[in-house]
Amino acid sequence: MGFEIRLAEQDDLAALAPHFVEMYAHFAKANGTTRLSKGGFARWCSTYQRARAISRVVYIATLNGEIAGFIEGQIRIQAQSVNPEKAGHTAHLYVAPAHRRAGLASALYSTLAAWFAEKSVQSETLEVVYNNATADAFWLSLGFKPTFLTYSKPAP
């Protein structure tokens, strides 16, 4: 495969910007509504930096020094009414189009799953943008099952 997967450092965050924008463009194309807000990437960087390594982590995959993909994980305590347990939450997974179908998403997820195990999570959660059949098939192949469907609409 030739990819290196490593923990993202502070200096890597700026290089993630075009990938983050492309990921949200893909979301918008899939469902017509999910868009990255103005300043959204900067806010994401700020919140990530505050929780980095304690309750949030980003791993990047590089090939020849270029970022080919990334995955973000978070530790969450599930609401008491749902499951009062520590859960690992996959917040973002992105692989650049030129590197898809090469096993990179699986490798990124395996790295994140190991981090979740280190953090002693009791379950894992994630959300998939509606109408993203490729993501649905990927997560189902890893044993995830759909549990909720979220509906939204613009405010009047």
Between 50 and 42, the higher pLDDT residue: 42
Rg value, the chain, Cα? 16
Higher-pLDDT residue of 25 and 5 is: 5
pLDDT value of residue 48: 67
Tell me what pLDDT residue 82 has: 62
Residue whose pair of structure tokens reads 């890597």 in the numeric block: 12
**pLDDT tens for residues 85-118?**
889 999 889 999 999 999 999 999 999 999 999 9
Rounded CA gap, 35 and 26, in Å? 9
- Domain 4-141: CATH superfamily is Gcn5-related N-acetyltransferase (GNAT) (3.40.630.30)
**The pLDDT of residue 84:** 66
Q: Are 107 and 120 in contact (CB under 8 A)?
A: no
What does the longest C-alpha to C-alpha distance in the chain come to?
A: 50
The two beta strands, 123-126 and 86-95, are parallel
What tens digit of pLDDT does each residue of 21-33 get?
Answer: 787 787 777 766 6
| pTM as predicted | 0.83
pLDDT reported for residue 22: 82
Q: What is the residue type of 114?
A: A
Give the Cα separation of 118 and 147 in Å (integer): 25
